[in-house]
Amino acid sequence: MALLCYNKGCGQRFDPEHNAEDACLYHPGVPIFHDALKGWSCCKKRTTDFSEFLSIQGCTKGFHSKEKPPEPLQEESSDKAKAKPVAEFIIQGPKSAEMMQRERPSSDEPRQLLPIKVSRSLEQALEKLNLSPHDKVPEGSCTGEAAAQVRAGTTCKNAACKAVYRGAESNAEVCTFHPGVPVFHEGMKYWSCCGVRTTDFSAFLEQPGCSTGRHCWTGKADKKAVSCRQDWHQTSSQVVVTIYAKNPLPALSSVKANRTVLEVHVIFEGNKIFQAELDLWGVIETEKSFVSMVPTKVEITLCKASPGPWARLEHPQSRACSQGEPEKAAASAEELEDDSDDSLSWSEEDDEELEA
């Protein structure tokens, strides 16, 4: 009985009893298809026509074979095939207002002073500025009646004193402060009330007081309270609050914050004082926040506790709304929101000044 030869390139039928060593002419190699050329790996003949490729005569002689060549292995494509492991990414959506409110830290947390960075240009401007001798704090100028209305956590307003009001017992503490005014002359920084001089601004700000007296919790009556133009913008990790005040006085100013509240106390040229307290929209990290001062403004850089945009600067349930001024607060928040991304308040010159 004639059998079909399965050698590649043969395809003839043969009698097993008359199968000789040179009876079959076949290709022992594999087909090759490259750059439109077709051929066998065992011989050099190539063609672009598929019919001619199929009719290429074998290059090797041997016995006919009735065994089918094994089929090439194929990857399982059925539903039973094992799925390859893939990396799993979990993307968390923005938190709802209700969740943010539940997770929001208390506004009554202790507030800490933010470090102040002073530009070289502001130091030069302060050297030319004649500070009024009326900045001197008369001993005993703050009465017990005024202190009785002070809220816990308020910082003493006397220069160089960092005491914090904890209760009525704080009034009995001794205040160590500078009764004079800061003096900046030919690169030297010192207080008019004592002779300790330094060229380093940070050392000047940390210089302990030279006189003792009573704490002043409510500020000086001779300061003129004013409102300053404010601005803010944000990145994914920071919020920058800008207060436009000419020649701010770092030694007499302070900025405090906890994770949800910002308290600003800025004294600047003309014996003027700007004060504000903001319930922030989000949560910040006070350890990574700081203040920068240049001759034209004060920039407060707040580090967000978690990356993401803030809808506005102030929290919807701010004190302004609770005091019966919802329309004013909403208008202010809307104005700030409009400025949040576009009103970049610093310039390259200011950056150079801070780096200097």
Nearest to 232 by CA among 222, 224, 240: 240
Please choose, from the candidates 30, 36, 57, 34, the residue with its C-alpha nearest in 3D space to the C-alpha of residue 45. Answer: 57
Asked whether the beta carbons of 309 and 291 are under 8 A apart, the reply is no
Domain residue extents for the chain: 3-62, 112-128+224-304, 158-214
- For residues 265-279, average pLDDT: 89
340/344 Cα distance (integer angstroms) = 8
Element (H, E) at 35: none
* Amino acid in position 215: H
Pick the CATH number of 3-62 from 3.10.20.740, 3.40.50.1980, 4.10.1130.20, 2.40.50.100: 4.10.1130.20
Interval 18-25 mean pLDDT: 85
Q: In one letter, which amino acid is 81?
A: A
| Assigned fold of 158-214 | btk motif of tyrosine-protein kinase itk (4.10.1130)
> Beta strand pairing status for 224-225 and 272-279?
parallel
Q: How far apart are CA 23 and CA 17, in angstroms?
A: 12
Cα–Cα distance between 15 and 66 in angstroms, integer?
10
Q: Compute the half-sphere exposure of residue 353: CA atoms within 13 Å on the CB side of its CA.
A: 20
Domain 3-62 and domain 158-214, same fold? Reply is yes
Counts of helices then strands in the chain (DSSP H, E): 8, 21
pLDDT digits (tens, 9 = 90+) for 81-90: 556 677 777 7
In angstroms, the CA 345 to CA 356 distance is 19
Note the pLDDT tens digit of each residue in 184-234: 777 788 888 887 888 887 788 888 888 888 888 876 655 688 889 999 999
Note the pLDDT of residue 142: 55
Would you say how long the chain is, in residues?
356
**pLDDT tens-digit profile of 111-156?**
888 999 999 898 888 887 765 444 444 444 454 445 457 777 788 8
- Is there a contact between 226 and 167 (Cβ–Cβ < 8 Å)? no
Q: Which residue type sits at 6?
A: Y
Q: What is the pLDDT of residue 204?
A: 81
| DSSP structure string for 170-227 | GGGSPEEE--S-EEEETTEEEETTS---BS-HHHHHTPPPSEEE---SS--TTSEE--
- CATH architecture of the domain 112-128+224-304 equals Sandwich (2.60)
Contact 286, 113 (CB under 8 A): no
